[in-house]
Amino acid sequence: MASVTSLDQDMAELRKSKYDAKSAAEAKAWIEQILAENIGSEDLVDILKDGVILCRLVNVVIPSANLKYKTSRMPFVQMENISMFLRAAASLGLPQYDLFQTVDLYEAKDPAQVLQTLYSLSRHANKQNPTVPLLGPKLATKQESPVKYPKQGVDIPAWNTYQYGYMGGASQGSEKIVFGKRRDIVGKP
């Protein structure tokens, strides 16, 4: 008999399956390198749950942030620490899709999204201050298009060969397409 699960259970399993232990170990090593201390031997999500290490991390990576965090066992204080980290990360320029939600970390709902936020924080911090070690690939820089477009208000053609490619002189005649003749589907014997 097939097992039946709810959509919530399936989604929770999918989110947890995206959590990579190797990436978590790299992120943990990166945090330890930034803070210059060992942060523990537990799972990364468990270590970061109270938000204190995240706030300390931001204070080192973004000195102007100067987050005032509290060490407490009370859930609302821990979630406030996480929220302060997320606001500071957003102020650094992390896109909204790279940020996790507070419950993703606090309740371990989406640990893979927590890792994505840490990787993105590393890239954006390194872009602003190259002395910050990089975790994962470097942030891409915007490059100008080689095609120069005319100024606003100037009439331009609907398309150009740079945007849509050049056919190299191909036409119906050069491709041996002739209208009005019978087309043989089966090859001649």
pLDDT in tens, 13-50: 777 777 788 888 999 999 999 999 999 888 899 999 99
pLDDT confidence of residue 163: 58
Cβ pair 21, 45 in contact under 8 A: no
pLDDT confidence of residue 108: 87
Query: How far is C-alpha 48 from the geometric centre of its chain's CA atoms?
Result: 19
Contacts 24+ apart (CB under 8 A), 64-71: 65/91
Task: Kindly tell me the sign of the dihedral angle through the C-alpha atoms of 72, 73, 77, 82.
Answer: positive
* Distance separating alpha carbons of residues 186 and 38, to the nearest angstrom: 74
The tokens for 79 are 């979630």
At what angle are helices 21-35 and 52-61 packed, to 10 degrees? 60
Domain 15-128: give its CATH superfamily: Calponin-like domain (1.10.418.10)
| Ranges under pLDDT 50 in the chain | none
| 129 Cβ contact partners less than 8 Å away, ≥ 6 residues apart | 61
- Provide the strand spans (E) within 42-152: none
SS3 content of the chain, % helix, strand, coil (to 5): 45, 0, 55
